[in-house]
Structures are given as C-alpha cells and as structure tokens.
Amino acid sequence: MKVAYLVSRFPKVSETFIVDEILALERRGVSVELFALVRQREAVSHPEAAPLTRRCQVASLATPGLWLAQLTWLVRSPRALLATWARVLWGHRRSPRLFARAIAVVALASLYALRIERSGAAHVHAHWATHPALGAWVVHRLTGLSYSFTAHADDLFVQQTWLAEKARDAAFLVTISEYNRRFLRALLGDTAPRIEVVHCGVRTAELRAPAQPADGRFRIACVARLEPKKGQAVLIEACAALVQRGIDVHCDLVGAGRDRAALAAQVAARGLGRRVVLHGAQPRERVRALVAGATAVAQPSIVTATGRQDGIPVSLMEAMALERPVVASALSGIPELVLHERSGLLIPPGDARALADALARLAGDPALRQRLGAAGRQRVQQLFDLERSADALCGLFIAQIGARSPAARPAALSAAEAREASG
C-alpha cells in the first residue's frame, strides 16, 4: 500500500510528529512518498528525519519540467487543469499574499501529480489544512486520486481561506482533538465530510521516567517555539513571582523563534538572568534531557489577538510520558490531555499569578508531583501513544484504498499484522 504525503516545509524541527507518524506508518507496511512545498533549512535537525529528508521531493518554480507539467495536463485534461486554476485563483483573490502562494502551490502540485501517478500511490494525505491541503486537492482534481488532510491549530483557527472547498472534496478529514472536530463541524456545517480524531502521539515505550532532580532547585522546563501564543512571557512573570516567594527556581526555555530578543530583554528586566536560560532549538535527545531534568514542565499557551492558539502540544505529551508533572493552559484540546488535578494542573490562559500558584504547589509537594507524573504517563499511554495513533491512521488509509480498489485490499497489511511483523 502506497500513500503520498504532502507537507508544507520539510524537515522542520518543530514538526517531529510528522516524521514520527510517517516512520510509524512504514513500520506497518505503508510505503510513503513524501513531497514538500518548501525545503526547510535549519541549524538543528533530528537524526530520525535524515532518511526522509534524503528522499523527500521538493520542487520550486525554477525546477526544470515544472511548466512542462502544466503543458502535459493541458494536453491530457484541459478542462480539469483550467477549471482548477480558475477556481483556485478566484477563491484566493481577496488576499494578494495568499493569491501569490496559491499560484505557486497549483504549479508545484501539478508537477507532483505526475510524480505521484508514476509512483503508484493510491491516496494522498496532507498535513495542514492550508497550502498542503490545497496541493492535495489539486492532485485530486488532476489525477482522480482520493485525498485527506490533517488539521492542527493555526491552519484551522486562523487560516480558513477556502477551507470548505478543500474539505468538501476530501475522502475524510483528520484532526488532532475532539475540540477541533467540534470546531470543524460548526464551521463546515453540511459540507463537512467524515472527520476522524487521530491524536499526535509519542513513542511512550522509548520515554523512561528518570529520578526526580535532587539538587534542591525547583527546575521548570518549557519546550516550544518562541512566539506569543506559546506564552513564554507569562512564564517569565511567573518565575519572577516564585523568586519573590523565596523559591529557588531555574527555568529552561527550549526553542527558537522571533520572540527570542523580546523574551531575553524581559528576563533581564526582571533580574532573572541567572535563573531563566534561553537554549534555542536543540536536538531531540538534548530536549528530552532538559525535560527529564526538570521538576515540572509548563506550557502556558494563550490565544493571541489574531486568534492563534495551540492544538495539543506534543511537548506536553513527551513531558507526561517522562512522568514530569505539567502545568498548562485550559484552552483548545489541551484539557483532553491534561485532566485538571488528575494528570496535571490547568490554569486560565495568560494568568501569570495562577501559573505561579500552580508551580508553587508543585514545588512544595513532592507527593503531588509524583501522583500527577504517574497519572500523566498513564494518560499518554492510553490515548496519545504514537503506535495507537498510527494504527488508527493506517486503518483509515486501508479502508479508503480498499473501498476504491477492492482487489488491492488483501495485499495491505492490517495494522495488527504489520505491528506483529515488525516485532
């Protein structure tokens, strides 16, 4: 069974969940042809992404053959090609920025459509409901292949241009939380296709809980891009409050982003230069070491003025799998992972005092930390384990491909058979 994956940028250090998902599918006998709209170049990369990066197909508007692909489709399916261009350009006419990007996506997707046909892929899946989903729609229009896409957060809450059209023709939609499913149903109404919740997951079996730090300091870790919706500014204010309460706090902020300079200035202004460390982007093993060395993990997400907000941060799942007690904001799908007072602590978004209060509770109560940490790992094992999520997604692909091509169905491994075969 072969599936084509279309993503926005690859490899992206903050999107390791896509790498993990593809590798998990391939362990189940699914062959994945990977395409990206942009080749991402970052100072830090994860070793797991290297094999996928080498085989990921990335074109640009300067790629030889790109416009030959347009001519090929014009000869083969002139009505489909011209109607596709007309619908996309009309649908994105209100935003010059999106209009320009839509032109690039249609051109690239037309080339990818030829490559996907030649690869023998039977279905196309896109990550993100924005440009990747548009690319999958174009491939569908030109080749007739079925497609689906996964909606996460900003691609759903903020960038909704042409979402209904992309959703209407999809075989099914995937999203990462029940919150998102309700949001999509309310937004799309009668045009909504089948919507399945498949959580992003982590390989819980690989994440072993180390002993709690024993140096007496209250160590906090926060793993997230440095941008407003992640709420690091709220955490810095909470750290200042903890120092005022006499708590010996140390905070590790892990991640890169446009807010680094502003956050560094805030740290200096609050006199926290020796207590709050901005590590920048780090390889996965270093990230896990910092989280494992923390007494608690904080993810104080907020909703920005433009509506940006988190989905369910994978960094929270990893922290909980490592049995670290977590404090997170009660927004979006996060309460589906963090059950207040049961598998972690929830606070109102943007409330630095509530965050400081919750962290102070954890600092002074080792038994609470242990109880929440153990329950958090159990929660991840039950609902947010990568293997379970991959089983669910694999099942969706098998059902879709089998429905379109019954003769091919017996050749596809079931999720259980693939897991057994891979050990």
The structural domains of the chain, ordered by start, are: 2-201+385-422 (3.40.50.2000), 204-383 (3.40.50.2000)
Is the overall model pTM greater than 0.95, yes or no? no
Q: What is the pLDDT of residue 143?
A: 97
Residue the block writes with tokens 């200035």: 265
Tokens describing residue 395: 């099942």
Written as six digits, the tokens of 379 are 């929660």
Q: For residue 380, with 0-12 CB atoms within 10 Å meaning exposed, 13-18 middle and 19 or more buried, which class applies?
A: buried
| Exposure letters 382-395 (e unless 16+ CB within 10 A, then b) | eebbbbbbbbbbbb
For the purposes of burial, counting CB atoms within 10 Å of the CB of 244, is it exposed (0-12), middle (13-18) or buried (19 or more)?
exposed
Q: Which tokens hold the place of 138? A: 């174009």
Helices 96-119 and 131-143 cross at an angle (nearest 10°) of 50
Check residue 158 and report its DSSP letter.
Answer: T
Q: Which pLDDT score, from 0 to 100, does residue 416 have?
A: 40
Residue with tokens 């690869």: 119
Task: Quote the pLDDT of residue 361.
Answer: 98
Which pLDDT belongs to residue 16?
A: 87
For the chain (423 residues), the mean pLDDT of every run of 10, in chain order, is 94 86 95 94 76 92 93 96 97 93 96 97 97 98 97 91 94 96 92 91 89 81 97 98 97 96 98 96 92 96 94 96 97 97 98 98 96 97 96 96 60 41 38
